[in-house]
A and B are shown apart, each in its own frame.
Chain A
Amino acid sequence: MILLVGSNAAETHPILFHHIMKGVHRGAELIVVDPRRTATARKAREHVQLAVGTDIALVNAMIHVIIREGLWHRAFVERATDGYEELKAQVASWTPERAAAICGVPPAQIERVARTYAQADRAMIAWTLGITEHHNAVDHVLALINLALLTGHVGRPGTGLNPLRGQNNVQGGGDMGALPDRLPGFYSVRDAAARQRFEAAWGVTLSERPGLNQSQIFEAMREGRVQGLYVIGENPLVSEANSQHIAEAFARLRALIVQDVVMTATAARADVVFPARVSFAESTGTYTNSERRVQLVRAARQAPGEARDDLWILAALARELGHAWPEVTAAEVFAEIRAMVPTYRGITYQRLENTPGIQWPCPDENHPGTPVLHTRLWDEVVTPRVAFHPVEWVPPAEPLDDAFPFRLTTGRRLQSFNSGVQSRHYGHPAPEHEWLEIHPRDAQALGLEEGRQARVVSRRGSLTVPVRLTSTVPPGTVFLSFHFPDQTPTNVLSIDATDVVSGTAEFKAAAVRIERVEE
């Protein structure tokens, strides 16, 4: 049984969806939880079409049903977890009826989905940004973890909790400590022993204070605490929520350096642009995918002229700043990763040459890699045990009201990618512009016609965009992608309410009104 929550995998992770559908053809039941009736939802046995931002209410009610009906995995919970009683107490009031009123789905469907998930031999949960692009993103994830732990659907093949990564190397970046409070290998910067290891290897002193996450950086820019920014391979001026507000923060910078393959909107504002005109097709190195599979990236062509890659640029900059950084190859960097990160230790370039990737943890060179994590939870004695984290549902940061009565949710479409820098102009027959997806009933009430312009207004900004009438969205909810920011800067509308832990903004839930544009 496969429970996809807030994921339109058929469009955003198409080849992963091939695997899901293989499972479906072999008898796996697919349940999709999504406010939109996406291409993915249309393939599901059951589509739970809940209101935007009500996932925690749904999951708490599923937990309520599973406990009430005795469907939880008692042996697993008693052996491997802590805090069951607190979880039970916390979901006591989360009856399916209470959640149904919030989510807008029938109580019987909540019960049915809860039973299906709990009673499956093997059930896995996968999610994408529908879970994490909320102001309470971490709570959303914790709710799903509670559900999986309660039913013992972790640590065995065919089970588990799977965040589907949106970019090629999100996993690898995290593995390498590209997080404000982490060192490579996910060691905390507060871990003195780990810090000392890296200090010894790098010959520098490392701060024990976590840095700032992206949202905190923007806040600090506004307050003048951060005055210089070095952006590598990101386009935050169009990809971040509430872009007008972001632009104000950027205007206060004293120095902006942007390093990118192409001239992005952010690069156009930079004081210095490092043209890293070396794309994936001209690079060597590794990417680590969503299933922790480390794979070799090989250069297939020559970059134009004197273009340099990110690694060369960083080292050259360090030398200019007075540090004796040598020119190193990607292979040499990987050798250092192996030395410093135990989960990567057994992965060598030579092994990667001869395999379709290796899944970490891979502690030594004879280790085959690890397809399934957390198998230790099925040991006789589990140390340490894992804790339930009961979480309460709270509504999206911006409630709907008479002035802004529509829920705007944003996401990707199959043929495009993020701010469109890579995916424009490759010959796809789909229109090369944005459109607003709106339910025909709403369109009729507003006097909107297919293909005609509408104005979308939030408390932060407004834009005009052609409309497409579709029952993919329910009445009251509208959808925009952010693939064509030049004509349709979707993120002038979105809200920058962010999760306090992860710093992720609530791209999935803004309040807007829609107006007919007289043409």
Chain B
Amino acid sequence: MRDTVSLTIDGVPVSVPQGTTLRAAAEAVGHEVPTLCWHENLAPANACRACVVEVEGSRALVAACSRVAEPGMVVHTRSPRVERARRVVAELLASAVDISLAPTVAALVEETQSEPERWEGARTAPPVRDDNGLYVRDYAKCILCYRCVEACGAEAQNTFAISVAGRGFDAHIDAGWDRAMPESDCVFCGNCVAVCPTGALMDRTEWTLRQEGRWDEAAIHTTDTVCGYCGVGCALTLHVLDNRIVKVTSPDDHPVTHGMLCVKGRYAYQYVQAEESGDGPLV
């Protein structure tokens, strides 16, 4: 067929539609490639290199999240060279960044039997920035995956409030001249928070509850519903702890939102439970 591409992945022949990435093709044969920066609703940033695979005839390892399948490709997702590269990726990240709330990075460390302690040297440890009422930035946990930048930019929000500034070890997410978020172009939609895989960006309510030791993942119930504000009809997932909404997200596969929300949908829910906190109007 003209619209499909045949290739071999780990010795398994597979045909996929034209335009399929190697990541998706590998998934189709059950050989999942680990990813950190890849996100189903964002363009691949090719930042993390966790998804590298070996393509015979290619000098360098290629990023499976963005490289598109070509006819006759022979791909190895778990060759020694691939595994060594992934191991070093995991070690370098874990040696420099706090991965305590980054399950995908932790899984990669474990899966690759990484030894981050092999890499002595600096750790990324900027202070926590709690400069707005809605979310907190702890860039000691940032792996520079670019997801927040993409979600803030052309992939969803089109606000372009943040970017990566600096080079090498000094590279960091910045809202321009190291500004606090309220002084930046940020519109506080929290879509950066929604796509952050490491807990570097966190809704302030969750951050506060974690600081107080009251965030209990196991006790949180989630319910899918629909936003009560404008007429777009965004799907909301309400995260409820002790009968209080503590977080709002949206399903990544919903055709209206693709996991993205606006500031009111994500954060303006306090009126619902104002009577418990006593800081809102009552009947």
Contacts and interface: CB of A to CB of B under 8 A. Distances in A.
B17 interface: no
Contact of B244 (A169, A273, A301): A301
A375 interface: no
B133 A356 contact: no
A263 B274 CA distance: 12
A19 to B, nearest CB: 8
A43 B153 CA distance: 13
Interface in B243-283: 243-245, 251, 253-258, 260-265, 267-276, 279-283
B18 interface: no
A427 B231 contact: no
B132 interface: yes
Interface string A134-170: 0000000000000000000000000000001111111
Contacts of B182: 429
B200 interface: no
Interface stretch (A8-16, A114-122, A324-332, A401-409): A8-16
Contacts of A17: 158
Contact of A15 (B181, B257, B268): B257
Interface in A268-294: 273, 275, 277, 279-282, 287-291, 293
Interface in B156-207: 156-158, 181-182, 187-189, 204
Interface stretch (B51-59, B121-129, B141-149, B234-242): B234-242
B115 to A, nearest CB: 42
Contact of A426 (B255, B269, B281): B269
A290 to B, nearest CB: 4
A456 B270 CA distance: 32
Contact of A425 (B158, B270, B272): B270
A168 B231 CA distance: 4
Nearest to A291: B233
B103 interface: no
A273 B231 CA distance: 27
A280 B225 contact: yes
A300 B245 CA distance: 8
B225 A15 contact: no
Counting chain B residues whose Cβ lies within 8 A of the other chain, the interface size class is 35 or more
B267 A293 contact: no
Nearest to A415: B263
A302 B253 CA distance: 27
Contacts of B265: 15
Contacts of B234: 15
Contacts of A422: 228-229, 268, 271
Nearest to A165: B231
Given A15-B257, A281-B269, A415-B264, A263 B281 contact: yes
Interface string A253-271: 0000000111110010000
B225 A281 contact: yes
A329 to B, nearest CB: 16
A287 B233 contact: yes
A165 B230 contact: yes
A21 interface: yes
A427 B275 contact: no
Nearest to A288: B233
B243 A290 contact: no
B223 A300 contact: yes
B282 A426 contact: no
A262 B228 contact: no
A425 B277 CA distance: 12
A414 interface: yes
Contact of B229 (A10, A282, A290, A417): A417
B271 A421 contact: yes
A217 B162 CA distance: 50
B175 to A, nearest CB: 13
B154 interface: yes
A129 B276 CA distance: 35
Contacts of A414: 187, 262-264
B230 A426 contact: no
A264 B283 CA distance: 9
A13 B244 contact: no
A168 B283 contact: no
Contact of B188 (A165, A260, A304, A428): A428
A168 B226 contact: yes
B280 to A, nearest CB: 6
Nearest to B189: A14
B232 interface: yes
**Which of B221, B228, B235 has the largest number of chain A CB atoms within 10 A?**
B228
A481 interface: no
Contacts of A171: 231
B10 interface: no
B227 interface: yes
A430 B135 CA distance: 14
B203 to A, nearest CB: 10
A297 interface: yes
A260 B283 CA distance: 8
Contacts of A421: 271, 281
Contacts of B156: 18
A37 to B, nearest CB: 16
A381 to B, nearest CB: 34
B271 A279 contact: yes
Interface string A386-430: 000000000000000000000000000011010001111111110
Contacts of B272: 279-282, 301
Contacts of A167: 229-231
B204 A427 contact: yes
B56 to A, nearest CB: 34
A295 B231 contact: no
B122 to A, nearest CB: 32
B202 to A, nearest CB: 14
B134 interface: yes
A74 interface: no
A429 B181 contact: yes
Contacts of B117: none
A348 B228 CA distance: 21
Interface of A: 10, 12-18, 21, 25, 43, 164-171, 260-264, 267, 273, 275, 277, 279-282, 287-291, 293, 295-302, 304, 356-357, 414-415, 417, 421-429
Given A25-B154, A167-B230, A429-B132, 7 more contacts: A18-B157, A165-B230, A300-B222, A356-B235, A415-B263, A421-B281, A426-B271
**Which A-B residue pairs are the 6 nearest by beta carbons?**
A165-B231, A289-B233, A427-B133, A280-B228, A275-B283, A14-B262
Interface of B: 132-134, 154, 156-158, 181-182, 187-189, 204, 221-235, 238, 240, 243-245, 251, 253-258, 260-265, 267-276, 279-283
9 contacts: A15-B261, A21-B158, A262-B282, A264-B281, A279-B271, A281-B228, A298-B223, A299-B225, A428-B133
